[in-house]
Structure 1
Amino acid sequence: MTNDLNDQDRLPLPTAAATGATDAAGPDRPELQKAIEEVVDLGFVGVQMRVHDERGTWVGSAGAAEPGKAAKPPTDGRFRIGSNTKTFVATVVLRLVAEGGIGLDDPVADHLPGFGLDRRITVRMLLQHTSGIFNFTGEYYEDGTYAPGITWAGREWVDRRFATYRPQELVELALSKPARFEPGAGWSYSNTNYVLAGLLIEKVTGRSLAGEMRRLILEPLGLSGTVVPGTETEVPEPHAHAYYRYEEDGREKTVDVTRQNPSWISSGGDMISTTQDLHTFISALVGGGLLPAPLLAEMCDPHPESGYGLGVFVQEAGPDGGTVITHNGGIAGHAGLMYCSPDGGRTLTASLNYVDDADMSLAEAFQKATRRLVEEVFGGARTEPAR
């Protein structure tokens, strides 16, 4: 299996100097430092966080970049952002809508005829997870049953983590399974939707997803720490390390999986970034710097069942905290957090590095961590509802 993008279309991996020196910590915010230390206490190896608000910019880290070592995660460190990738991909699609190259309610099959897609599935449905298409990483059903997809956990994934998958393969695997529901009849989070969105971008423009990401987002915003890796296995320095734990012959084994080929998740979650770049991106997006106002309003119009718009969640920040625009993501020992007030003026971006496993044993801790950080940063915020 090989990647079919041209080498010149693949974004280069930046060096450590590409994004400048490490930030100073900014104003003294002991409550923020305490919050990230509490996150580490939940079982994570390390955390780095950046907050921009009316008091200025604060950056900090806690825990360790590697278990058992003293060095903290670098506050300018790179990390795999997982499903935060979806917000970038959705933004590119919406930019193409603004340019007139595609319509939100176009049948996807008109642009990608080779898959035999149901003609009722629209571009909007891909971005909002209402297509009903099977999730190629597996489906959990309401009755507790699980339908497996591609291998992305356990020893088998660890052994195959450098294998290359073409996005077409991931889509074909998903389409070989029964749809979860009729197009538009429900909501279900599916990575397949965003692999199709990536292929759609390439088909409509005749250029690679990486090239369009560079043209429409990365270069205009100066996001020099953000990478669309394709099949590249490295996370550029500096970075904290990611780990995966599995059982072999009755014994636990922990492996450093920082290096992996992310083509197994493709445009559903393969990107690499920094907390600075995520701040720059989400504040520009929500603040109106990337999309015309009508399309931004469509993006932030949440589905009633899930609170999901087009590539973002619209959520309450807490009992008194108003609304936040957000997307988080996790991928094999790295996670990225991205939150923004509806006016773009207050952001929280963070990364976690941890020991992952097939049981998702830190899933509950992850939810507690995000709630703790959001309440600390946005809990007292007077934000207007998203429009």
Structure 2
Amino acid sequence: MPAARTVRTLLAVGLVAGITVAALAAPAAAAPPAEPSHAATQQALDATVAEGVPGAVAQARDGKARWVGTAGERKGSDRFRVGSITKTFTATVLLQLQAEGRLDLDDPVEKWLPGVVRGHGHDGRKITVRQLLNHTSGIYSYTEDPAFQEKVFGSGFLQHRYDTWTPKQLVAVATAHEPDFAPGSSWNYSNTNFVLAGMVVEKVTGRPYGKAIENRIVKPLKLRATSAPGTDSRMPEPNSRAYSKLSNETGGPTYDVTELNPSIAGAAGEMVSDANDLQTFYRALLKGRLLPAAEMKEMTSTVQVSPDLPGVGYGLGLMRQKLSCGKEVWGHGGGIHGSHSEAQATRDGERSLAANLNADWTGDTQKLIEAEFCGTAPAKR
């Protein structure tokens, strides 16, 4: 993972393609709204493959109408690792538990995970569950640890791709560093937050967080391609292969990274899904089918991500962004080895997009979002 922080660290659990701050920042003078065009989205898919991504897939819905687009070596039904899109599922479960009176998001993390968040200035007694979900806890992200990066995302991956990491091990990597800031005083994306959130779900329910997602979201919505695989390194069919350079460079060899033990991500990014299921989930969420109105209001109450990104806010496992045409979309992105995904929808849940690129060193999913919701085709080179 590059040392420089870009917006991709807002969306990913590991290595993802280079979305820059400029890509998400609202322009000084917004362009006039344009009618969304699936033709523009298909052009963006084709351009992505032309830039070196082996394959790209996108699905969009407008009301009941559905469109499927592919480019390169992809099928519209492909399943893929969704990375940090997992975070919205995890947050939804915690909000459901609050609605049932089984926890309060303003509980200190220490109440549910005594002694877990300690070390080098980290203190779970001063951090709330809510601060985990909106990334204001200040907890260091374990995916920023240089040794972890080399072992898991760098050259060490080939040797360690099947290793199992427990949530406590991942948290220990984080708490070996000092916090980024005092709880509640700033914002910084940390994958450790959602590993801890998954641990809270397990403590409250007495079952693995993935089982809670299955029972509360996957089964009720009949998401047939969606799962939390735990430590299972295999990818369910149908899928296309996932590719990585295992470095910060675009040159060098390309590796097939389809199989990996997703415990490196846990509740922060381990899930598998497809474009159809992701749209079903976000549309149901934004239409109020999964959460009561009070919890939905909490989920969509955002904090400022950065002064450089006035059009971007982060709620509870859910991101809001304003596009170049002035339209607003809600959702999340996610990256993990060889996979870069997006799932976005309008606030009313009527128009949606889900997409995946099967590479992590090139490609820009933001172009797909702009194309679908604003009808903006990528500039020709």
TM-score, normalised with respect to structure 1: 0.80
Mapping for residues 218-233 of structure 1, pairs under 5 Å:
218-233=218-233
Shift of 1:186: 0.6
Does residue 350 (structure 1) correspond to residue 359 (structure 2)? The answer is no
Does residue 194 (structure 1) correspond to residue 194 (structure 2)? The answer is yes
Q: Deviations over 1:268-320 (max 9, x none)?
A: 11100000100100000011110111211111111023411100111102233
Shift of 1:335: 1.6
What corresponds to 2:46 in structure 1?
37
Specify whether residues 246 and 345 from structure 1 end up closer, same or farther in structure 2 by C-alpha distance, changes over 3 A only.
closer
Q: Deviations over 1:101-150 (max 9, x none)?
A: 110111010111031433120010000011001100116xxxxxxx6545
CA contact (8 A) 2:214 2:227 kept: no
Q: Give, in whole Å, the separation in 2 of the partners of 1:210 and 1:305.
A: 28
What corresponds to 1:59 in structure 2?
68
Q: Give, in whole Å, the separation in 2 of the partners of 1:337 and 1:302.
A: 19
Shift of 1:91: 0.6
Q: Give, in whole Å, the separation in 1 of the partners of 2:264 and 2:179.
A: 21
Letter in 2 for 1:326: G
CA contact (8 A) 2:49 2:71 kept: yes
What corresponds to 1:23 in structure 2?
none
Mapping for residues 1-387 of structure 1, pairs under 5 Å:
29-54=38-63, 56-64=65-73, 73-115=74-116, 116=118, 117-138=123-144, 149=148, 151-246=151-246, 252-306=252-306, 307-320=313-326, 322-354=327-359, 356=360, 361-362=361-362, 365-366=363-364, 369-370=365-366, 372-379=367-374
Q: SS at the partner of 1:50?
A: strand
TM-score, normalised with respect to structure 2: 0.81
Q: Give, in whole Å, the separation in 2 of the partners of 1:158 and 1:93.
A: 35
Q: Give, in whole Å, the separation in 1 of the partners of 2:197 and 2:184.
A: 17
**Count of residue correspondences:** 325
Q: SS at the partner of 2:41?
A: helix
CA contact (8 A) 2:41 2:375 kept: no
Shift of 1:184: 0.5
Report % sequence identity.
42
Q: Give, in whole Å, the separation in 1 of the partners of 2:114 and 2:261.
A: 28
Q: Deviations over 1:326-350 (max 9, x none)?
A: 2000111112110000000000011
CA contact (8 A) 1:338 1:349 kept: yes
Question: What's the RMSD between the two structures over aligned residues?
Answer: 1.9
CA contact (8 A) 2:38 2:372 kept: no
Q: SS at the partner of 1:252?
A: coil
Letter in 2 for 1:375: E
Specify whether residues 376 and 149 from structure 1 end up closer, same or farther in structure 2 by C-alpha distance, changes over 3 A only.
same
Moved over 6 A (4+): none
Q: Give, in whole Å, the separation in 2 of the partners of 1:32 and 1:54.
A: 17
Unaligned runs of 5+ in 2: 1-36, 307-312, 377-381
Letter in 2 for 1:123: V
Q: SS at the partner of 1:113?
A: coil
Letter in 2 for 1:219: K
Q: Give, in whole Å, the separation in 2 of the partners of 1:188 and 1:101.
A: 28
Specify whether residues 157 and 223 from structure 1 end up closer, same or farther in structure 2 by C-alpha distance, changes over 3 A only.
same
Shift of 1:152: 2.4
Q: Give, in whole Å, the separation in 1 of the partners of 2:288 and 2:49.
A: 34
CA contact (8 A) 1:135 1:149 kept: no
